Amino acid sequence: MKLNTLMLAATALAASAVQAQSTCTEWSPCFREGYCDSDAMFCLWGLCDETKSFNSTSCWQPEGCASQLVAFDSSADVIGIRSYTGNPNANPYLSIFEPDNASVVNGALQLQMNYQAEQNKGFGATASGSHTIQYGRVTARVKTASVAPGVVSSFIIRNDQTGDEIDFEWVGRDPSQVQTNYYFNDILDYTKMVAYDVGADTSKDYHDYTIDWSENRIQWLVDGKVIRTVNKADTLDAATGKYLFPTSEARVGFSIWDGGNSGAQGTQEWAGYPTPWGTGVSYRMFVDSVDTKCTGGDQGTTTSDGGEQPADPTSVPEPPVSTLPGGQKCRPRY
């Protein structure tokens, strides 16, 4: 009896999977997390699931890298993802979540986190580059939101499909420190994190943070000083014969999120907790500029006014579109 029940359940799941793969139409061609639509929130490369979309050309193609300086002196330098029509030169950064807590304020990208009572935690923001990158040097001039325990700021280069990532992260419990890490194929090895003392409160002033990523090496720099180097040759996993080194085409992104009230004990201890909330309290991270210099697949130079073996393309699940939480691109620490 139990076997029959299991077989029926498996059959039902298989049928629902087939149905999910055939639900998109030519008017709503792009599939993402159980839904179909036609705008960038669903069709953008890295978000759209090609295997379940209307056809093999429904999802937008990766935009490629562009050597550019984004100075955030125009409101068009970051727009809500639903308003994006596919021109990365006109809109170099996209605010991924709704409500939209990213904007240009006084010549800087502002990412804001507000209290969300129903979740008993902050709802933050993520701004993701509309150009992609596969190797290059990215320098971001950042003033963090490390003014209270639990508030996490991040600067990342990430592919959400493969889980390859290179990052800087700042946690509110230690405002003078920046942490560096990298991930291959979404293998969450937090032991590779290396912290660096900036020597100043990172929430008080801007500092330059650089990720220099090549086929054979990653370097992290703070104010022009190399603080860490990882060579691909040193990441070989003897058991699999793979280099656990990020190689996937990706997007540059910036996030603010509530680690102190995340509900995951390890994350809370890492970020500091609880995150203090009260009437009128909000937290803000600022990015003054982003300077990208491509070393592979450069699509041209613009100035904005406003593993050895390939990683398996396994999808990294996210919450449903209607409830996507701001700043959840960084994985919780358990």
Active-site residues: which are they? 165, 169
Quick count: other Cβ atoms within 10 Å of Cβ 260? 26
3-state secondary structure of 11: helix
| Rounded Cα distance, 227 and 221, in Å | 5
| Rounded Cα distance, 296 and 213, in Å | 10
On the question of a cis peptide bond just before residue 99, with omega within 30 degrees of 0, the verdict is yes
| Rounded Cα distance, 140 and 273, in Å | 27
Query: Structure tokens of 57?
Result: 């050309």
On the question of a cis peptide bond just before residue 313, with omega within 30 degrees of 0, the verdict is no
CA terminus-to-terminus distance, the chain: 38
DSSP states along 130-155? SS-BSSEEEEEEEE---SSTTEEEEE
- Residue type at 87 in one-letter notation: N
Residue keyed to tokens 């803000």: 284
Rg of the chain (C-alpha set): 20
202 close to 176: Cβ distance less than 8 angstroms: yes
